[in-house]
Structure formats: structure tokens, C-alpha cells
Chain A
Amino acid sequence: MGSAIPSLIGVIIATFLLSRALPGDPAVYFAGPAANAESVQQVRESLGLDKSVPEQFALYVWDLAHGSLGTSLTTGQPVADDLLQRLPASMELTFAALIVAIVVAVPLGVFAAVRPSSFVDHFCRGTVTVAAAFPTFFVALLLVYVFYYLLGWAPQPLGRIDEIYYVAPDTVTGFYLIDTLLAGDSESFRGALAQLVLPTISLALFALAPIARMTRASMLTALGSDFVRTARANGLSGATVLFTYGFRNALLSITNIMGMIFSFLLGSNVLIEQVFGWPGIGAYAVSAVIASDYAAVQGFILMMAVIYVLLNLVVDLLAGLIDPRVRFEG
């Protein structure tokens, strides 16, 4: 946790400078195509952009200290509200993709490690490489083309739920799958699930490769270790050796990369959300960048940084649960 504060300060400074480095002048953008120099100047003053950069930074930090991320120029809403409203959509998608990726990739990696150079191993490496080789947005478009346009199995790729047929649930967690279940509305649950399938698969494919490869590598290390040899020499059954001795030790390295993968996924959301009309933070960030909407861009990056820090905290806690050595150091 001690390293979190300096990195957050760094992020605050970097995002401020980066967003100022975006090409384009927001005053011109918001004054509209018909504006003359005078009205552009007016807009600039109203946005506070006529002040010097240090002054702007001081204002920004002052606002942050008071819990305000500023107001978005495009939506007219406080950035914090915008982000919090959209975050659950992205989170739901990311979690779903991560779970799917883990459920597929971890067993694949384990099988590949148990039988190295076997058919399963080559198959695993092949699929995983192919899955990682295609850009996410291309896979997403391909899936939409095949399953929506050609086969008609998937619903229209327009957001989290088709509001013509289903009722969006009341917000409790912001995760539609959970909220619809809480509301006891199985119809809407199915509707939300149907919308979630294609974006989840496109995103999960991207995470398969690193998880499967990490699982395979760490399983191979664990199974080749001295303590597994001891377990075998003591006649322990194959399942005990594989899971209690091999997998639990391999789990350490797998957990360690999960934080990284989760943040990768959150980043790749940007593209997937565009393809599926998903009302998440990725889509929000893209339009903010296009409009040079400083406050929104800064807010987005800052939130991602905070999520990343929290994520690493969770990973550390998990590592402590698995490995007593980590626990005792702390």
C-alpha cells in the first residue's frame, strides 16, 4: 500500500500533462463550426483554458482534493457521476471475460503441462496463439457478422440489454446479471446474458494466451520440483500430486499475472465497447479523447490507475492466502 500513494501522485501529474498534449483545441470544438474568434475566446474563458498551465493544474488538484473530477464538456455531467454510472458495464464485461478465460485456459494449461509435447499440448499452443494473433476488434466484428448477421443466434449488438423486449433492472450492484437475479426477473436475466455472450468471448480470447501459457509454465515448474518428486516417492496418488502439490504451488504465479491480465482486459474494453455499443467507460473515454474533453480524459485515466492499484492489493492478499511465506513477511 505504501507504494500506492506516490504512484497515484505520478498518475495525477502525468494525466494532466498528457491530456494537455492532446491535439485539437477544445474551445474551437465546443464553440462549433460557425463560431468566430470572439466566441471561441469566450468559450475558452468559460472553460478556464485561458489561464496558465500551472494555474490550471492547481485548480485541477484543488478540485480533486474536494472529490471533484470536474465536469465533462460533452455530457455536461460531473465526470465522477458519468464514470461511476458506466463503470459497472465495463466491469461486468471484464469479469465475465476473465472468468471465461480462466475456466478455459487454466485446465488447458494444466493438461498441456501434464502431457508436454502431446497432442493436447500442441493443440493448446496452437489455439492460444491463433486466439492471441487476431486483433480483438476484428474477432468481435467477425463474431457479430457470423452469429448475428448470418446465423441470427445472437441479439443485436447494441448495448447491455434490448430495452424493447426487456426491462433494465433497478441498479443495486450495477451488474445486470446480478441485478436481474436480485429482482427475480429471469426474462431480463436471459436478455442481459444474451447481450453479454459475444463481447465476452471476443474479450476472453485475448486473455486465453497469457493465462494458458502461464499455467503451463508454472505447472511444469511445480511438477518438476523436488517436492513433487518426494510426493511421488511417498506413493501419493496422481490426483494428490497434481492438485495438492502441483497446482496449488502453480497457482501462485497464476494469481500474480491475473492482476495484469485484468487491467489489460479493462484496456481492451475500449475497442470491444465500440463494436458492441456497450455503454462502458471505454466508449466514454474514446469520445472524450476525440472531443479533447480534458476533465473526462483525466478522470478516466485516474480511475483506471486507482482500479489498478486496488487490483494489485487484491492480488497481494490472494497471494498471502495461498503462500504462507508471503503471509509471514507482511
Chain B
Amino acid sequence: MTAPPLLKVDKLSLDFRTREGRVKALQDVSFHIDRGEILGIVGESGSGKSVSAFAIMGLLESTAEIGGGSVHFAGADLLADNGAAMRAMRGREISMIFQSPRTALNPIRKVGRQIEDVLRRHGPVTGHEAKKKAIEALERVRIPDSARRYDAYPFELSGGMCQRVMIAMALACRPMLLIADEPTTGLDVTTQAVVMDLIREMVDETRMGALLITHDLGLAGEYCDRIAVMHAGHTVEDAPTEVLLEKAAHPYSARLIAATPAAADEIADLGSIPGGLPDLRRQDLPYCRFRDRCDRRVEVCDAQPLPVTELTGSHLVRCWRPT
């Protein structure tokens, strides 16, 4: 009997109400994260990666409507409508970092003060303690000369340094789960590696769980323990990293892997996936949202809802014709 996962998202469905009708942003999305594990969610823009993260954080816009499913975190039901408890949990038990760290920090507040704001919010600390802890948090993410950096404004720091500050802020209260939404987009490759190494290290060190949202399958392959592939609001495949990279069962995953540049590849050999995401406002969305881009399409794909098949113990795929 294994322990229940740290985070379990189960059959989550979510619509956005817009003037042009309902956008079926998520349907039957399921994944889970254990302690000390990084789960990567991979997919192209608009596939519902960030929306899933915001749903977990309870930070959805007011136009979002959860149609069904559940989100359980450390035994608590996160979808139960309890604003105050959710706010107290954000930043303390679940933290989130974003892309473009420069704009994600308050431009006119010292970075140390911003970390302090989080510390003060989540625990009774004196001013002196808060400052000490904020500097410690900066030290933990290997910011050199952290006592001096405490007084820096975001515009005085490089993008990579800002992202480390963001991580320091997210980890200041030692959360159990870190959600990183495209944390390295906009950073150069070297900085990207530094930031990802740091996240990996923090996960190994503190046994927290992490959710890495990225469109870069290469990055996810390098740093994640498991990968869930999302397409148009569906989780189409969920497997341990090595399994997914070697034996991708879903046609979309297979094509994503073929489209990921490796060092030896010629540009001409790089695969691309034809077509785009279906219009999620359509009333008559097909059972398989990958149907129009798929080369394995058969009659049953149009006729019946997709089955979720368990290929091995922890390899799930949502397709009629997995390989």
C-alpha cells in the first residue's frame, strides 16, 4: 500500500465563459505528484497547462467555471470553496513561480522586502527575524552577497537573478509543492540550466513535489521524473520520463518527441506537427481533440469517447490506437 500522492488532480473539467460562448479549456484532466518528484506538463500553447496550475492555486479568473473533478492536496480538497484557507495555503504550502521574472516582481519594492511580505503573511515573525529569514532565503538559492542583494530592486538584477529571487520567495516558507510555470522562458540557455538545476536540487533536498510547466520537451526530459502530455485540454499521456521518451504511445507525444531538436539533428530532419488546436468554443468538439491532426485515425475515434488505457503500471494513454 503506497501513501496517497501529495497532489492529485482527478478528472478536472473547466470552462471559461466568454462572449462567444463557453471555452472548454480542460476536460477530464488527471495527474498526480508525489513528494520529492518533479512532474512535467508538456504541450503547445493553449493546451491547458497554465490553466491547470491556476486551478490548483485557486487563482482562476472569475469567468472560469469548474465543471467537475477534484483536486486533492495533502488530504485537503482544494476545490472546496474556502477562500481564506486557500489564501493561507498559497505561498506557504503551495508556491508558484512564473515566466518573465523581471515583470513578475514588484518593480518599485526591494526584493528583500518582497520576500519579507510573504514571510510576514504566513507566520508571526518580528521585523528583525523576517529580514534575517529573507536573507537566508536568498542564500539558499545561491545568490552571492545576499545581504546586499536584499536591498536591490528588480531592475538592478539580471533576469536569471530575478528568477532566483522568485524561487527564494516561493520557497521562503518551505512549501510542500512548487509550481513552476515556464520558469526559464526568456532566459538564456546557461541561466536556464542554472535555474533548473536549482529547482531539481531544492526538490531533492527538501522532498517537496514540483510541477514544471513547459513547452520544451527536451527540458522536461532532462529534469522531470514523470511527464504528462497535454493537448487541447486533455491529458493524452502520462508516463515516467524514460518510458515516455522511448515508448511514447500517443501519436501527439510521438510527434512532439520527433519535433524536439537534439544536438545532432539537422534542421531539415526536425519534425513538425501539422494543423493546430481545435477551436475549443465549438459545441460539437470531437471525442478525440487530436483527430484532425492524427495519422492513425480510424472510425472508432469519431464514434466513441476515448478510453484511458494503462499500458504498464504507471503509463497511461488516452487513445484508441496507442502504440
A interface vs B, CB < 8 Å? 225-227, 229-237, 240, 244-245, 248-249, 252, 322-325, 328
Whether the Cβ atoms of B121 and A322 lie closer than 8 Å is: no
Contact B104 A227 (CB under 8 A): yes
Q: Chain A: which residue is nearest B172 at the CB level?
A: A234
User: Which residue of chain A lies nearest to B115 when distances are taken between CB atoms in the complex?
Assistant: A234
Interface code B163-198, partner A: CB below 8 Å = 1, 0 otherwise? 000100110000000000000000000000000000
CA distance A230 to B90 in the complex (A): 10
Could you say which of B100, B103, B104, B121 contacts A235, with CB atoms under 8 Å apart? B121
Given contacts A229-B98, A249-B107, contact A234 B155 (CB under 8 A): no
What is the CB-to-nearest-CB distance from B147 to chain A, in angstroms, rounded to a whole number?
A: 19
* Known A230-B98, A233-B59, A325-B108; further 8 A-B contacts with Cβ < 8 A: A226-B103, A226-B104, A230-B105, A234-B117, A236-B118, A240-B117, A324-B155, A325-B155
Closest A residue, CB atoms, query B152: A324
Interface centre among B100, B105, B109, B169 (most CB of A within 10 A): B109
A325 to B104 alpha-carbon distance, docked (Å): 16
Which residues of B from 27 to 78 have beta carbons under 8 Å from A? 57, 59
Contact between chains at A237 and B98 (CB < 8 Å) = no
Q: Which residues from B are CB-within-8-Å of A325? A: 107-108, 153, 155
The 5 closest A-B pairs by CB, nearest first: A235-B91, A234-B91, A235-B90, A233-B96, A226-B103
Docked CA distance A324–B122 (Å)? 27
A252: chain B residues at CB < 8 Å are: 108
Chain B 258-298 interface 0/1 with A at a Cβ cutoff of 8 Å (1 = within): 00000000000000000000000000000000000000000
Q: Would B122 and A235 count as touching, CB distance under 8 A? A: yes
Q: Is the CB of B153 within 8 A of A324?
A: yes
CA distance A247 to B59 in the complex (A): 20
**Whole-angstrom distance between the alpha carbons of A189 and B121 in the complex?**
46
User: Chain B nearest CB: distance from A277 CB in Å?
Assistant: 45
Residues of B in contact with A, size category = 20 to 34
Contacts of B59 in A (CB 8 A): 229, 232-233
Q: Does B87 contact A (CB under 8 A)?
A: yes
A172 CB to nearest B CB, Å = 38
**Measured between C-beta atoms, what is the minimum distance from A327 to chain B in Å?**
9
Shortest Cβ distance from residue A122 to the other chain B in the assembled complex, whole angstroms: 18
B108 x A231 contact (CB < 8 A) = no
Q: Mark B217-230, 1 if CB is under 8 A from A, else 0.
A: 00000000000000
Q: How far is the CA of A231 from the CA of B117 in the complex (A)?
A: 9
- Does B121 lie within 8 Å of A245, measured CB to CB? no
> A225–B118 contact, CB under 8 A?
no
B170 and A234 contact, CB distance less than 8 A: yes
**27 pairs from A and B in contact (CB 8 Å cutoff):** A226-B98, A226-B104, A227-B104, A230-B105, A231-B117, A232-B59, A233-B91, A233-B98, A234-B91, A234-B118, A234-B169, A234-B170, A235-B87, A235-B91, A236-B118, A236-B121, A240-B121, A244-B106, A244-B109, A244-B117, A245-B106, A245-B109, A249-B107, A322-B108, A324-B155, A325-B108, A325-B155
Q: Given that A235-B122, A237-B87 are contacting pairs, would A227 and B95 also be in contact in the complex, using a CB cutoff of 8 Å?
A: no
Which of A225, A227, A229, A234 interacts with B121 by CB under 8 Å?
A: A234
In angstroms, Cα B57 to Cα A237, docked, is 15
Q: Which residue of A lies closest to B153 (CB)?
A: A324
Is residue B306 within 8 Å, beta carbon to beta carbon, of the partner chain? no
Q: Which residues of B are at the interface with A, using a C-beta cutoff of 8 A?
A: 57, 59, 87-92, 95-96, 98, 100, 103-109, 117-118, 121-122, 153, 155-156, 166, 169-170
CB proximity of B149 to chain A, nearest CB, Å: 15
Cα separation A100 to B137 with both chains bound (whole Å): 45
Looking at A230, A248, A252, A328, which has the most chain B CB atoms within 10 Å of its CB? Answer: A230
Query: For residue A248, which residues in chain B have a CB less than 8 angstroms away from its CB?
Result: 108-109
Closest to A238 in B: B87
Cα distance A322–B169 in the bound complex, in angstroms? 23
User: In the complex, what residues of A have CB within 8 A of residue B170's CB?
Assistant: 234
A233 touches B90 (CB 8 A): yes
Which residue of B89, B106, B166 has the most chain A CB atoms within 10 A of its CB atom?
B106
Question: By CB atoms of chain B within 10 A, which of A225, A227, A229 has the most?
Answer: A227
CB–CB A324/B121 < 8 A: no
Give the residue of A226, A234, A245, A328 whose beta carbon is less than 8 angstroms from that of B100.
A226
Chain A neighbourhood of B109, CB < 8 A: 244-245, 248
B-chain residues with CB within 8 Å of residue A249 when the two chains form the complex:
106-108
Q: Provide the residues of chain B in CB contact with A322, threshold 8 Å.
A: 108
Instruction: Please indicate which of the listed interface residues B57, B59, B91 has the most CB atoms of chain A within 10 Å of its own CB.
Output: B91
Cα distance, A324 to B152, chains bound together (Å): 10
Distance A325 CA – B155 CA, assembled complex (angstroms)? 7
Contact A234 B90 (CB under 8 A): yes
B103 pairs with A232, CB closer than 8 A: no
Kindly state the separation between the CA atoms of A318 and B29 in the bound complex, as whole angstroms.
50
CB-defined contacts of B153 to chain A, threshold 8 Å: 324-325
* Chain A residues within 8 Å of B57, by CB: 233
A108 to chain B, nearest CB (A): 22
A230 to chain B: closest residue by CB: B104
Give the chain A neighbours of B95 by CB distance below 8 A. Answer: 233-234
* Bound complex: CA A262 to CA B95 (Å): 45
Which A residue's beta carbon lies closest to that of B166?
A: A230
Instruction: Enumerate chain B residues within 8 angstroms of A230, measured Cβ to Cβ.
Output: 98, 104-106, 166, 169
Take A226-B100, A236-B91, A237-B87 as given contacts and tell me if A231 and B155 are in contact as well, using a CB distance cutoff of 8 Å: no
CB-nearest residue of chain B relative to A325? B155
Q: Shortest distance in angstroms between B117's beta carbon and chain A's nearest beta carbon?
A: 6
User: Which residues of chain A have C-beta atoms less than 8 A from B117's C-beta?
Assistant: 231, 234, 236, 240, 244
